[in-house]
Amino acid sequence: MPLSAGFDRDTWIESELIQAIVAEGNCVIEADSERVLSSSVLVLNRFYSPVHVISVRRAFILLYRECAEIVHLEDGQFTNYDFESWCEISAYRSQEKQPHEDWIRAVHFEVQCPRVVRLLQYDRSPRSALRFNRRNLFARDGHKCQYCGRSFPSHQLSLDHVMPRSRGGETSWQNVVCSCVGCNTKKGNRTPHEAHMHLMTKPIEPSANPLLLQKLNNPKYAAWQTWLPHLVVPQHASASDAN
């Protein structure tokens, strides 16, 4: 579609970009770009402390609303970009794309996906306690059944109470493990000893966010290590776990 006379090209591209991103399934965005929009972005607070992980789609919305800026690693140094300048630099960088970069491709433009954004007004510190939920527990156990040792996608996994709840077992990091449906059914309302099953590892509370550890194992999130230097990447995680 040709540009109307007197219409600013940058404004048009930004408008098309944000509309395509906000409207999930919009035909303007190519299929691979829809997958890229679900990849992850590390969020820093105003003082450059990591506080959250969001999707690329959410990050672009924050950038467009001028709630955040991009923090990008260039030649060993970090440079800050607002939404407009990032669109401009993406047009230049699109001629020499690098490995592990993600790009959103639409009909009239390409834009590089950021890895780190900084909130301009948010100055709260991250929560200290790790939330106990299915996603974090599956990440802790590497998406492996803790009885048979096989890996499964999330929808084929369940939570198993080592000491059954009906017998006083708590729902906690120390008493819940990742289990496949088959092993969970086999164990039933018994302890592993009673069911003649063995746990691969003793369940404990993670010392760090297991989802972040998985991401750090993927080379495309290497820039995160600057903000998360205390995290040690686990050997069992794979890049396929960390899109």
Rounded to two decimals, the pTM is 0.68
Contact 21, 60 (CB under 8 A): yes
| pLDDT at residue 6, rounded to an integer | 36
Same domain, 66 and 177: no
Distance (Å) of CA 213 to CA 50, 54, 97, 111, 136: 14, 15, 26, 27, 11
Q: Does the pLDDT at position 13 exceed 90?
A: no
Average pLDDT over every residue of 188-216: 90
Query: Residue 221: which of 209, 233, 205 has the closest Cα?
Result: 233
Q: How far apart are CA 119 and CA 122, in angstroms?
A: 6
Question: Would you say residue 114 lies in a domain?
Answer: yes
Residues 38 and 150 both lie in one domain: no
Q: Are residues 139 and 110 in the same domain?
A: no
If asked whether residues 79 and 101 sit together in one domain, one would say yes
Residue 203 lies in a domain: no
For residues 93-119, average pLDDT? 87
Are 70 and 158 part of one and the same domain?
Answer: no
**Are residue 167 and residue 61 in the same domain, yes or no?**
no
Same domain, yes or no: 67 and 7: yes
In this predicted structure, the answer to whether residue 205 has a pLDDT above a threshold of 70 is yes
The whole-number pLDDT of residue 158 equals: 96
In a domain, 224, yes or no: yes
Measured in degrees and rounded to the nearest 5, phi and psi for residue 135 equal -60, -45
Q: Give tens-digit pLDDT for 113-127.
A: 999 999 999 988 776
Examine the domain organization and report whether 21 and 59 are in the same domain.
yes
Interatomic CA distance for residues 5 and 7, integer angstroms: 6
Structural domain tally of the chain?
2
Domain containing 183: what range?
134-187
- Spatial distance between the Cα atoms of 199 and 231, rounded to a whole number of angstroms: 26
- Exposure string of 193-213, with b = 16+ CB inside 10 Å and e = fewer, is eeeebeeeeebeebeebbbbb
Does residue 201 belong to any structural domain of this protein? no
So what's the pLDDT on residue 32? 66
**228 is a domain residue:** yes
226 and 110 belong to one structural domain: yes
- The answer to whether residue 218 sits within a structural domain is yes
Mean pLDDT for the chain overall:
82
Please say if the pLDDT value at position 134 is more than 60: yes
Task: Retrieve residue 74's tokens.
Answer: 């260039």
Look at residue 192 and tell me if it is in a domain. no
For residue range 45-89, what is the model confidence (pLDDT) as tens digits? 999 999 888 999 899 989 988 999 999 988 778 899 999 899 889
What CATH code is carried by the domain that includes residue 149? 1.10.30.50
Look at residue 150 and tell me if it is in a domain: yes
Q: CB 41: neighbour CB atoms within 10 A?
A: 24
Q: Domain check: are 118 and 140 in the same one?
A: no
Shared domain check, 152 and 83: no
91 vs 152 pLDDT, higher one: 152
Question: Do residues 97 and 138 share a domain?
Answer: no
Give the pLDDT of residue 225: 87
